[in-house]
Chains A and B, each alone.
Chain A
Amino acid sequence: MHTRNKSLAAGGILLAVGLAVSSCASDAAPGATPDKLVLVTHDSFNLSEGTLAKFTDATGIDVEVQAAGDAGELVNKLVLTKDSPLGDVVFGIDNTFASRAVNEGVLEDYASKDLTSAEEQYLLPAGSGLEQLTPIDNGDVCVNVDHEWFADAGIAEPATLDDLLEPEYKDLFVTPAANSSSPGLAFLLATIAAFGEGTAGEDGWQDYWTKLVANGVKIDAGWSDAYYVDFSGPSSDGDRPLVVSYASSPPVEVTEGVTVAPTGALLDTCFRQTEYAGVIAGTKNKAAAEKLVDFLFSTTVQNDIPENMYVFPVNAEATLPATWADFAEIAPDPFVVAPDEIDKNRETWLSEWAAIATP
């Protein structure tokens, strides 16, 4: 016992030295300068180098970006850390999670003073985010179609959600799952908006999905999987010419020197996702945070959004890059579900959907 314990002592000393060394190596003070704002975003946030620096140039305030997962994770993290906020400004709350953020009280009352009537279409209803959230960008989730595949096969392309149930499109459609992918959820919401709640004996979205499953829809876990493994598009390996993706995906598939896009978006199948920014409740820098929200809505950021985040700016004054003007399309009349409806029914809808689509 005696000897063992002594060698044990030597082990402890060795450990102490080791720890001292390792703690030196990984020591970093979490510095807190008063003239810095923390911008909490979703993972897809991206701007050109130097864009945020323009805010610093104008105000003398540095902006530190912290990514916090997808829109759902982002909102849930804000809710969980309400007592000790993650930052000053949030960007990336979308219309499917807006009500939760508002109802949980994680946002200060502020919407950009620069909003005009031209952006009215993107505003949330009063009491459901109008007062707290400023729209920043929007993008449509639509069924994408492989033009080349349909041309080769000599089959007419589908155009509407109902078309997808036709026998000639059997086994041709793939979508990411609504319960593990946000474009998947957006597509489910499009069908809910289109067909409504099914009641006994009446057609509804549940009935639509039952028929979609019968017509051989393939349901993958994630967007990457659906788009790169099962979709037949030019940069994909699969054999299904219809996939749920974004309206902004087709321009990306256009290679240099090509005048006709190899894929396209079916504009009658779209659900519109709008992303918002707001001031996080409990911030100690409310005035500065409001300036940052205004900055995100300014044309400096808005013009920079399409090329970096593949979505459209909401500011009516913003200009689109040339390739976008040529190939990007916007659904004239996308499907809409009220944010508070989504929040109220999310769990019910998703479990009903899972029972039908992934039995």
Chain B
Amino acid sequence: MGGYRHPVTHPTRIKPAPSTILAIVLGVGVPAAFVGIFFAWPVAAMVGRGLFVDGALDLSGFGDVLARPRTLRLIGRTIGQAALASVVCVVLGLPIAHVLYRLTFRGQRMLRALVVLPFVLPTVVVGVAFRTLLREGGLLGDLHLDGTFTAIVLALVFFNVAVVVRTVGTTWEGLDRRQEEAARVLGAGPVRVWLTVTLPRLAPAITAAASIVFLFCSTAFGVVLVLGGTKFGTIETEIYLLTTQFLDLRGASVLSVTQLLVVVLVLLVAARARGRRTAQRRVSSLQSRRAPRLGDVPTIVVTLLVAAFLALPIAALVLRSLQTADGWGLGNYVALGTTGSRNALVVPVWVALGNSLVIAVQATVIALVIGLAASLVISRRPRSVGLRRSLAGFDAVLMLPLGVSAVTVGFGFLITLNTPPFDLRSSPVLVPIAQALVALPLVVRTILPVLTGIDDRMRESASVLGSPPWRVLRDVDLAIVGRPVLAASGFAFAVALGEFGATSFLSRPDRPTLPVVIFRLIGLPGGDNFGMALAASVVLAAVTVAVIALVERLRVGTMGAF
């Protein structure tokens, strides 16, 4: 990316100032240390347990495990399932992103919040809601989808379409409409404009979203089991089985490494796809959004259809939560103030909701601080190829936690974080940290496309006009990134609130989160506990929507600068 892109160049090499070195140490070092201590180390230790036999590295497991036809089937199914779900999410998510982020109409903000709703619903509960619809005799029983591959993919789409809508929507919202208009004036048809002008500018955001969806889907656990039964095992479910039931650490390690390789491969492909970055003007959404026109009908229709698809299991859930032993009523909601029948719980559901909110806020703060710092560094374009490559590698490392089994990380915590200064195994701080690890990639992927889209000349002009560096950062980077940061914080919060895998592993019995409590309720016999589990899920979803809607409201007016 030669210097011709930079009209303000420096004739002589300048030695980096101490503050620069400090910035790099902090911007790279802190996120790297965070991911290193709370992710890489535990995973490496766990994999090491399986691969080192009596102190010697034994790689024969790879041959044995990978030669099993079952393993190959699992790998193939994992990739196929995740790839298919990602494609469907992108295809359905783009029209919705257009409607929710490029048009303007009443109720739009609420719709944006609603799209995220499935994302936080506990997988076990959604699984049950889906299966209630799909089983023979259920509302959609005639489709014969119960226990099929299609049902799993549909459920994965249900959970993840929001990732595409929000990641792409946030970028799209800031794109200058005048480029499209210019192309139209010059005679290009709408399809051609979309393909040649809009799509290239959205490409980084689309690949970012697709890679996140792929990672989420490839490590999906609860939903795959509930909807597919054990016959649709994936790498993730197999790691769980080998680790928690068979204590076959060798097999689990081989699969963990395989999982890691798949993830790295996907990230490489994604990085290549979004490699060419184009500087672009970002505009206020007031300029980019307009009222719907006739030409928007197709995207609006898709949005409505997907909305109906998302609403169906949720409606089933809400209806079922209103059913009690004595007919329709709010009994299940009233019961949330109790510890359930026959002492099902240690704390009332409301207390668990309080725990969830506090922990999710902590996780969001951690993810935002670390994600923002990392994004600011990754978005720079050093001229040295080596440095650029290192930044790309750093970027990929931050994504890894999404693609590695929660079981491997969780067991890894137990065998690594047991000596000072990291004697944290039973410490409550691990819960928000684990949630932040999952939210971090979403934060980076939401903020980074916007940051990399900033034309460096803007920073340079500001600097030439006499702004000190902190003002450049504040007035250029942070001003532009303000909106995506808010979007990212809403999303990170939702992820943290709904996180179950790692949380259930780490949360303490006297301080459970809402998803943990829901899981316990749905695991106990008796219609009252089941009803409470459903009511609690509805409450969890409602709270999330409310929080995200609130964040959306805050976003108004953050982009007035230019």
Q: Which residue of A lies closest to B419 (CB)?
A: A84
Q: Quick check: is A81 within 8 A (CB to CB) of the other chain? A: yes
Q: A11-B377, A26-B366 are in contact. Are A70 and B231 (CB under 8 A)?
A: no
Q: Which residue of A lies closest to B243 (CB)?
A: A76
Q: A13-B26, A308-B343 are in contact. Are A22 and B244 (CB under 8 A)?
A: no
* Nearest CB on B from A325, distance (A): 15
Whether A219 contacts B230 by the Cβ 8 Å rule is yes
Whether A308 contacts B342 by the Cβ 8 Å rule is yes
Residues in A neighbouring B509, C-beta threshold 8 A: 41, 45, 65-67
Q: Quick check: is A46 within 8 A (CB to CB) of the other chain? A: yes
Most buried by B among A14, A179, A350: A14
Kindly identify which residue among B24, B246, B325, B425 contacts A346, using a CB–CB cutoff of 8 Å: B246
Most buried by B among A26, A28, A249: A26
Residues in B neighbouring A73, C-beta threshold 8 A: 244
Q: Quick check: is A48 within 8 A (CB to CB) of the other chain? A: yes
Residues in B neighbouring A38, C-beta threshold 8 A: 426
* Nearest CB on A from B241, distance (A): 6
Within 8 A of B (CB), among A282-338: 307-308, 310
Kindly identify which residue among B225, B427, B432, B527 contacts A180, using a CB–CB cutoff of 8 Å: B225
Q: A10-B23, A84-B419 are in contact. Are A238 and B414 (CB under 8 A)?
A: no
Kindly identify which residue among A4, A28, A239, A347 contacts B428, using a CB–CB cutoff of 8 Å: A28
Whether B477 contacts A7 by the Cβ 8 Å rule is yes
Kindly identify which residue among B124, B456, B510 contacts A4, using a CB–CB cutoff of 8 Å: B456
Q: Which residue of B lies closest to A16 (CB)?
A: B26
Q: Quick check: is B480 within 8 A (CB to CB) of the other chain? A: no
- Interface residue total, chain A, C-beta cutoff 8 A: 84
* Nearest CB on A from B279, distance (A): 14
Whether A179 contacts B369 by the Cβ 8 Å rule is no
Whether B229 contacts A9 by the Cβ 8 Å rule is no
Task: State in angstroms the CA–CA spacing of A73 and B506 once bound together.
Answer: 13
Q: Quick check: is A167 within 8 A (CB to CB) of the other chain? A: no
Within 8 A of A (CB), among B483-527: 505, 508-510, 520, 522-527
Task: State in angstroms the CA–CA spacing of A26 and B30 once bound together.
Answer: 16
Task: State in angstroms the CA–CA spacing of A4 and B477 once bound together.
Answer: 11
Kindly identify which residue among A25, A220, A255, A347 contacts B229, using a CB–CB cutoff of 8 Å: A220
Whether A46 contacts B472 by the Cβ 8 Å rule is no
0 or 1 for each of A59-98: is its CB under 8 Å from B? (1 = yes): 0000011110110110111011100101000000000000
Whether B19 contacts A9 by the Cβ 8 Å rule is yes
Within 8 A of A (CB), among B117-169: 124, 127-128, 131-132, 135-138
Q: Which residues of A contact B (CB under 8 A)?
A: 1-16, 18-19, 21-22, 25-28, 30, 38, 41, 43, 45-46, 48, 64-67, 69-70, 72-73, 75-77, 79-81, 84, 86, 100, 177, 179-180, 219-225, 227-230, 234-239, 245-246, 248-249, 252-253, 255, 307-308, 310, 346-347, 350, 354, 358-359
- 6 additional contacts (CB under 8 A) given A7-B477, A229-B128: A15-B369, A26-B362, A28-B429, A220-B226, A223-B523, A255-B325
| Nearest 4 pairs of A and B residues by beta carbon | A235-B527, A6-B469, A12-B23, A12-B26
A-B contact pairs, 27 of them (CB 8 A): A1-B14, A2-B10, A2-B14, A3-B459, A6-B20, A7-B477, A8-B24, A8-B376, A9-B22, A11-B27, A12-B26, A15-B372, A18-B369, A26-B366, A30-B426, A46-B346, A66-B426, A67-B508, A69-B244, A72-B245, A76-B247, A86-B425, A100-B247, A239-B137, A252-B342, A308-B342, A310-B342
